[in-house]
Structure 1
Amino acid sequence: MKTIKVGGVPEHFNLPWHLCIEEKLFEDKDLNVIWKDFPGGTGEMNKALRSGEIDVAVILTEGIVKDVISGNESKIIQTYIGSPLVWGIHVAAGSKYKSVEELKNTKAAISRKGSGSHLMSYVNAQNHEWNTDDLKFEIVKDLDGAVKALKEDKAQYFMWEHFTTKPLVDKRVFRRLADCPTPWPCFVIAARNETLKNEPERIKRMLEVLNKETNRFKDLPKIAEKLAERYDQQLEDIKKWLEITSWSQEQISEEELEKVQDKLLELNLISKKQPTSEFIHNL
């Protein structure tokens, strides 16, 4: 049985993968899918794709697009979440800042360069007509690092997925000032070019199993309760999240890729655009 190493964030979005593994749905198709959590997010996963630590990543769209332009030899094989990601803009609970406008010229905590928290800081700055050249960052690696950095005032704000950070808001570790949705579908599935060359049929089979699961995911009995329990969430929050979240079984469109590249270019995060064929592999 061939092993496929898949990486993703330890968040509620990825429960369909875990259910496929736990219920041996991949094994039924002669696939040994091994999951690895990446609490550091997109930047950490890009590094793992480049090194061959993982074959496949469930990764933020803008993060993989930027890294492919920078030399990551991977391709997008499918959209995973077709809806936008809602990024909460957080400060420490006791922070003096009461609005996003007041955060101008302060320091953002980011997991690492090239991560979603890094790239979305630029999107947020542009939304508020700040000079993006003035942005300052504190690299914190993950959510725990962000908690520490904000508490010690090494950084003043942190952008992370709204519902993942909601328990910290409820516990008054963070205070959320506002939300900043991505202007495109948020998560895609990317695979190393080497893996796509050597194992196309197995990767295709893996997607078929996953897509069957995501297609029925919202209709599974007590799925909201299961998500709330596994990810330490309030049931009402999970129900809200399920309402605004949609899983995709389709390849990302060229139009969406153009939109991501246009935004990255506008923010000076890439120096030039690439043909969409550089990013997509259709199985």
Structure 2
Amino acid sequence: MTAKLEDKSLDVAIALTEGLVAGISKGQDWYKIIGTYVDAPLCWAISTGQESRHHSVDSLHKSNCGISRYGSGSQIMAYVLADQQGWLNNKKTGEHSDAPMNFTVLNNFKAMRDSVNDGSTDFFMWELFTTKPYHDSKEVRCIGKITPPWPAFMFAAHVDVLDAPELPRVLNAIQKATTLFMEQKEDESVKHIIRILDYQEEDVHNWFKTVHYAPDHTGISRRAIQVTLSTLQKAGVIGEKVPSMDDLCYLKVGQLIE
């Protein structure tokens, strides 16, 4: 999505918080964060193949991780997993390790599922409820879950449209749509998800228990941004120098909240 923002095929995108923050931190200066879409964190499933030798997260150190692309959420979360597991530091020397695992770029979700079954990768990480149908069908096997300490999705806009009068109206329209969607979650919204995604009804109800749309889409949590920067830095995804809030966010549209 950030590539589509760069080539201007998109004016506004809803993307993973960690990807947007990491991109700007690495010099992607063609967009800024303008608000928050889903302020609950995203739960990621850690999946292997059915015949994989890996049966727990502990054995994944120095293994091969399938990712959609470099800098994507699937790669960033692998580093967060490595940080949580203590794989980023040598326990004897305390030195930082740059290679807790190897990465194979696979571009799409199906290729990632195929790769853990043909043995070309050891595991991949993808959103839990999107992956669950493939766990249920036993195409792939879930060996763990991980939830980062930041909101799942934020809005970003190309710098050329930041002052466009339509931008606040877009956020307001989406705000009304998500409010209606949640008001109808016991009936119409459940049917809608089942119809377009072919999820089991029980899974849809469980997903609704985890999701929470930001009550004000223009709000941007200062603490969430700081935690994201700190975690990405600790995990080695970004360097020591971090961007300012003004570099990351356009505060004539978005509003900083604590």
Q: TM-score, normalised by structure 2?
A: 0.88
How far off its partner does 1:115 sit? 0.1
Select the structure with the greater relative contact order (CA < 8 A; seq sep ≥ 6). Answer: 2
The 5 Å alignment of 1:102-121 reads 102-121=59-78
- Number of the residue aligned with 1:122: 79
How far off its partner does 1:215 sit? 1.6
Q: 1 or 2, which has the higher helix percentage?
A: 1
How far off its partner does 1:182 sit? 1.5
How far off its partner does 1:229 sit? 2.3
Q: 1:277 aligns with which of 246, 249, 256?
A: 246
- CA shift digits 1:187-239 (9 cap, x unpaired): 00100011113x2x111111111101112212224211221221121110110
Between the aligned partners of 2:161 and 2:129, the Cα distance in structure 1 is: 33
**For residue 212 of structure 1, what is the amino acid of its counterpart?**
K
How far off its partner does 1:70 sit? 2.1
**SS, match of residue 252 in structure 1:** strand
Q: 2:13 aligns with which of 50, 54, 57?
A: 57
- Number of the residue aligned with 1:41: none
Between the aligned partners of 1:129 and 1:143, the Cα distance in structure 2 is: 27
Contact 1:117 1:158 in 2 (8 A): yes
- Number of the residue aligned with 2:43: 86
Between the aligned partners of 2:54 and 2:44, the Cα distance in structure 1 is: 18
The alignment's C-alpha RMSD in Å is 1.2
Between the aligned partners of 1:276 and 1:60, the Cα distance in structure 2 is: 17
Between the aligned partners of 2:23 and 2:198, the Cα distance in structure 1 is: 32
From the superposition, tell whether residues 71 and 133 of structure 1 become closer, same or farther in structure 2 (CA, over 3 Å): closer
**Range 246-255 or range 85-94, more displaced:** 246-255
The 5 Å alignment of 1:1-283 reads 45-72=1-28, 73-131=30-88, 133-134=98-99, 135-197=101-163, 199=164, 201-220=165-184, 221-248=187-214, 249-250=216-217, 251-271=219-239, 272-282=241-251, 283=253
Moved over 4 A (4+): none
**For residue 199 of structure 2, what is the amino acid of its counterpart?**
Q
**SS, match of residue 268 in structure 1:** coil
- Which runs of 5 or more structure 2 residues have no equivalent in the other structure? 89-96, 254-258
- CA shift digits 1:136-157 (9 cap, x unpaired): 1010101011022112111110
Between the aligned partners of 2:232 and 2:136, the Cα distance in structure 1 is: 33
**Range 85-94 or range 260-269, more displaced:** 260-269
- CA shift digits 1:14-35 (9 cap, x unpaired): xxxxxxxxxxxxxxxxxxxxxx
Between the aligned partners of 2:140 and 2:121, the Cα distance in structure 1 is: 13
**For residue 260 of structure 1, what is the amino acid of its counterpart?**
T
Contact 1:77 1:189 in 2 (8 A): yes
Between the aligned partners of 2:173 and 2:230, the Cα distance in structure 1 is: 33
- CA shift digits 1:233-262 (9 cap, x unpaired): 111011011011001124211111111111
Q: TM-score, normalised by structure 1?
A: 0.81
- Which runs of 5 or more structure 1 residues have no equivalent in the other structure? 1-44
